[in-house]
Amino acid sequence: MQQLPKRNPNSLLRNRIFLYGLLFVSAIILLTIVFFRQKPLEYYDKTEYHLGTYVTIRVSSSTMSPVTLAEAAMTEIKRIDDKFGSRNNGVIAELNRTGELHDIDKETSFLIRSALEIARNTSGAFDPTLYSLTRLWGFDDASSKKRIPSDKEIEDALGSTGFSRVTYDEELGYVSLVDGAMIDLGGIAKGYAVDMAIAKIKSLDPEATGFIDAGGDIGVIGPKYGNRPWIVGVRNPRGESVQDVLEYIYLYDGAVATSGDYERFFIENNVRYHHIFDPETGFPSRSGVISATVIGKSTMLADAYATAAFVIGMEPGVTFLPRFGALVLLVMEDMSIFRSPGFEVYQEK
Ligand code: AMP
Ligand code: MG
C-alpha cells in the first residue's frame, strides 16, 4: 500500500494565516469603499416668516433632496397660516365675519375640537375666543398699534369672549359664535402647522430626520444623524439674545413649545404688557410666570398647553397639566424654575 506523503504542519499553519490575512485585508478594503462612498448626512436649513414668527426647517434625507422636503413643509405651513389665521382670508376669518359655518372640513373640525377640549381641560385658561382682546391691545399683527385700552373697552371685549360662546356640532360639521365672539387660534396654530409640516415630510421620506421650529414651538422630524438627540435651549426670558439659555432639553422625538412674555410686548411706565391674556381679566396674564415650556406628544398640544401653563401659573400648572400629557417647566419673575415631575428625564443627556 502506498503511503500518503506526510503534510508539514508548519506549512499548513502558514497557508491558514495567509488565507485569514487575505480575508482581513479584503474586508478592510470593502469597508473603506463603503465608508467613502456613503455621503455624510448633511442638514439643510430653510427659514421664512409665517404665522407671525420665523419658521425654521432643518432637514436631512438619504433618499431625496432635503431642499424639496423643506419646500414642501414650508408650503404646508403657509397653507395652514392662510387657512386658520384670523387676519387672513381662510376659514377662521370667514367664521369670525359670518358668525357661523356649515359643513366645515375635517381639518377645521379637528382643530376647533382640539382647541375647545384644551379650553375645557384648563378651565378656560387656554381660550381660543380671545380675538377681540388680541385686536384691542394691538397684538393681532406686528404692524398694529399697541396700547393699553380703557377699562370700558376691556369690559366690552370680555362680553364677546369665552369658549362657552362657541357652539360646535361635530356630526353636523357646524360651528357658530354668539355675542360677537371671534376665534383666535394664535395659541395653537403654530404647533398644529409644525405637526402637519412634519407629516408632509414623512409622507415623502419616512426616514428623514431634523426638526421644525416655529418661534419656539419645536417638533422633531427624527433624531440628529438618526441616533442623537436634538438639544433645545430654554431661553432666558430676560436674556439679550436667543443664545442666552437657562436650561437644556434633549429630544429624540416628540415636541416642545415655549410661551414667553418676551415674544410680543410693549413697556409703559415700567410695566410690561404682553400678548398672552388672562381670559378672566382681559389683561396680559400676571401669574408670576415669564416663560412656560411644555414637552408634549404633539407640537399642537405642547403649543396650546404652554400658553395655558403661562396663564395658570405655578401651583396648579406644574401639578395638573401632566394629566394631559404636558410636562411643564416654568420660569418665574424672580428667575426661579419649577418643573413638573418627569420633566427632568428630558434634561439628562
Ligand atoms: P403663544 O405664543 O403660543 O403662547 O400664543 C399666544 C397667542 O395666542 C396670542 O398672540 C393670542 O393670539 C392667543 N392668546 C392669547 N392669550 C391666550 C389664551 N389665554 N388662550 C389661548 N390663546 C391665547
Ligand atoms: Mg401656544
Spacing, Cα 268 to ligand 2 middle (Å): 25
In sequence order, the 6+-apart residues with CB closer than 8 A to the CB of 25 are none
Taking the CA of 129 as reference, the closest ligand is 1
Dist CA 214 CA 140 (whole Å): 17
pLDDT of residue 11: 65
Answer whether residue 1 shows pLDDT above 50: no
131 lines ligand 1 (CB under 6 A): no
Dist CA 230 CA 241 (whole Å): 20
Answer whether residue 30 shows pLDDT above 80: no
261 lines ligand 1 (CB under 6 A): no
CB-proximal residues (5 Å) to ion ligand 2:
187, 259, 303, 306-307
In sequence order, the 6+-apart residues with CB closer than 8 A to the CB of 60 are 41, 42, 43, 44, 66, 208, 209, 210
pLDDT of residue 8: 63
* Residue 316 banded pLDDT, cuts 50, 70, 90: confident
Minimal-distance CA residue to ligand 1 atom 15? 276
Closest ligand 1 atom to the C-alpha of 311?
A: 19
Spacing, Cα 30 to ligand 2 middle (Å): 51
Mutate to test the pocket of ligand 1, among 96, 118, 130, 213 (most ligand atoms within 8 A of CB): 130
Closest ligand 1 atom to the C-alpha of 277?
A: 16
276 lines ligand 1 (CB under 6 A): yes
Spacing, Cα 305 to ligand 1 middle (Å): 10
Taking only the tens place, the pLDDT of each residue in 187-224 is 999 999 999 999 999 999 999 999 999 999 999 999 99
Residue whose cell numbers read 432666558 = 236
Answer whether residue 105 shows pLDDT above 70: yes
Residues 28-48, mean pLDDT to the nearest whole number: 69
259 lines ligand 1 (CB under 6 A): yes
Dist CA 4 CA 241 (whole Å): 86
Q: What pairs with residue 211 in β-bridges?
A: 58, 220
**β-pairing verdict for 289-296 and 255-260:** antiparallel
pLDDT of residue 9: 59
Residues 265-285, mean pLDDT to the nearest whole number: 97
Taking the CA of 123 as reference, the closest ligand is 1
Mutate to test the pocket of ligand 1, among 161, 277, 291 (most ligand atoms within 8 A of CB): 277
Dist CA 39 CA 67 (whole Å): 16
pLDDT of residue 251: 97
What contacts 24+ positions apart, CB below 8 Å, involve 33-41? 41/209, 41/225, 41/226
Q: What is the mean pLDDT of the chain?
A: 92
Spacing, Cα 241 to ligand 1 middle (Å): 22
Phi and psi angles of residue 303, each rounded to the nearest 5 degrees, phi first: -60, -55
In this prediction the pTM is 0.89
